[in-house]
Amino acid sequence: MPYSERPTLLLTGGSRGLGHAIGGKFGAEGWEIIAPPRLRLELSSPAAIQDYIETEIQRFGPIVNSFIHSAGINPSVAKLTVTELGVKSPGIDVALNEFDQVVQVNARSFLQLSIGLLRRKQEMDTLSGLRMLALSSLFGGDITRIGKMPFSASKAMLEKIVKQLAVEWGRHGVLVNAIEPGFFPTEMTQINLGEEKIRMIEAQTPLGRLGEPHELANAAYFLCSPQNTFITGVVLPVDGGFLAGGGLGVLEMAK
């Protein structure tokens, strides 16, 4: 479907952090943003998501041009202990309830919303040109660190969902991609890393600094704009070169 005068973005996680920057970028480019607050779309609840699909997506789904899933949670597994070597060890009881919740919010909710949106757009014959994007993490790919079992596993699942959707919906003109953000100074990063580790990450990043949220938003915008016509099924690191440097800081972060 050709883009309308004012294209529309459906966005999760738009209240703060990277999602907020993404909404700002699309808004500045003249897009209409639909960014439901958590009160309207609680992603830890499949029933709440279904309600949102049956009411809101039923109504505005046909005019959505792009869907971005930025919402995510990143708890450190509670039961970490510090060994005499000064290294945190994960303990034996990974909290399985917490695991399910992280997978639900980070990965399953994206699949459920995507299915709802794709179904509605197919009904209305407005599928072609839809672009979808999910924010993963460097830990969704080849690297991870101690204490990140639910987070890393959920992001790996998210990346596979993205690729699967890209493969299955490409013939309908739908493009689906993921971004792996490196390290950005959002609330999530401050809580999970703290100042000392942030300095260490900066030192191990070829560009020598954390990313600015608008730099992530620019990449998200490109992938979801009409300028992107042939990139689908990819996972793009936006990390200032951190992965290219071998991700060595990840080992240090375990200490």
How far apart are the C-alpha atoms of 127 and 121, rounded to whole Å? 5
d(CA 222, CA 144): 27
* Interface mask toward ligand NAP for 13-32; x: CB under 6 A: x-xxxxx-------------
Interface residue with ligand NAP among 42, 56, 100, 215 (CB under 6 A) is 42
The binder of ligand NAP chosen from 5, 142, 187, 196 (CB under 6 A): 187
Rounded to the nearest whole angstrom, what is the least distance from the CB of residue 13 to ligand NAP in the complex?
A: 4
Q: How far apart are CA 232 and CA 175, in angstroms?
A: 5
Q: How far is the CB of 20 from ligand NAP (least distance, A)?
A: 7
At residue 210, the 3 state secondary structure works out as coil
Nearer to ligand NAP, 166 or 178 (CB): 178
Q: Residue 181's closest CA among 157, 150, 210?
A: 210
74 binds ligand NAP (CB under 6 A): yes
- If binding is defined by CB under 6 A, does position 112 make contact with ligand NAP? no
Q: What is the per-residue DSSP string for 87-119?
A: -EE--S---HHHHHHHHIIIIIHHHHHHHHHHH
Name which of residues 120 to 179 contact ligand NAP (CB under 6 A).
135, 137
Cα-based angle 185, 187, 191 (whole degrees, multiple of 5): 100
CA 129 to chain centre: 20
Applying CB under 6 A, the span of 118-126, 165-173, 180-188, 227-235 interacting with ligand NAP comes to 180-188
Report the residue number, 45 or 89, with the smaller CB distance to ligand NAP.
45
**Which of 43, 113, 156, 162 is in the footprint of ligand NAP by CB under 6 A?**
43
Q: Binding mask 212-251 vs ligand NAP (x if CB under 6 A, - otherwise)?
A: ----------------------------------------
What are the residue ranges of helices labelled H in the chain?
17-28, 46-52, 58-60, 96-103, 109-123, 149-169, 187-203, 213-224, 249-253
Decide: is 44 part of the binding site for ligand NAP (CB under 6 A).
yes
Task: Tell which one of 186, 204, 205, 232 touches ligand NAP (CB under 6 A).
Answer: 186
Positive or negative, the CA dihedral 122, 51, 188, 251 is negative
Q: Minimum Å distance from CB 184 to ligand NAP? A: 4
